[in-house]
Amino acid sequence: MPMTSSAMSRSAAFPSFTSEVAERDLRLAFGRFASGVAFVTAEIDGVPEGLIVSSFTAVSLEPPLVSFCPARASLTWRRMRAAGRFAVHVLDSRHAAFARRVAAPGADRFAEPLRDALAVIDCDLEAELPAGDHHIVVGLVRRVHVSPHGRPLVYFGGTFGDFKRSSR
């Protein structure tokens, strides 16, 4: 059954809604969907902030929109939103150790520079919507830089891996 806007409104209106689906089972089911991994960054008063997301997705070509979903409890996102803009760095499979290190709460996410992202997408903050225990953040794309080489970092079943093209 497709989710309608009224269904989304109900879930946003009732944040204490309890599902009969066990959280463990839900995490396992969500983990069966492979996703790319991105490092979202912003600068506030000269101080860089960043967070790892596996919820990044393209939304629209016209206008050019992307989205990601930070946790509502994320202190980092609370600081980042004040910038009014952000950059999405699509991670290469070589960035797995970086992603593991900077995903930890309180990690120094800028101790070593991130190099050779598969793409960097600069955005203005277009919208932010509450959705359960996360926000849906929508960015209006202003600039892109795409690397011609590399393999994406993939998140699946709670671990990082990489993508191999089918031989077909």
Q: Is residue 158 part of a domain?
A: yes
And the tokens for 48?
A: 């860089």
Q: What is the CATH number of the domain that holds 68?
A: 2.30.110.10
Nearest-angstrom CA–CA distance, 139 and 88? 10
Q: Is residue 7 part of a domain?
A: no
Run of H or E including 33: none
Q: Is residue 151 part of a domain?
A: yes
CA dihedral 48, 111, 116, 72 (to 10 degrees): -50
Q: Is residue 13 part of a domain?
A: no
Q: Is residue 25 part of a domain?
A: no
CA 13 to each of CA 9, 17, 54, 128, 130: distance values in angstroms, whole numbers, following the listed order: 6, 9, 25, 15, 10
* Overall domain count for the chain: 1
- One digit per residue, the tens of pLDDT, for the chain of length 168 reads 344 444 555 555 545 555 678 888 888 888 888 899 999 999 999 999 999 999 999 999 999 999 999 999 999 999 999 999 999 999 999 999 999 999 888 889 999 889 899 999 999 999 999 999 999 999 999 999 999 989 999 998 888 888 877 777
Nearest-angstrom CA–CA distance, 105 and 21? 27
Q: Is residue 21 part of a domain?
A: no
Q: Is residue 16 part of a domain?
A: no
Domain encompassing residue 63: 34-162
Q: Is residue 20 part of a domain?
A: no
* Model confidence, pTM: 0.84
Run of H or E including 53: strand 47-53
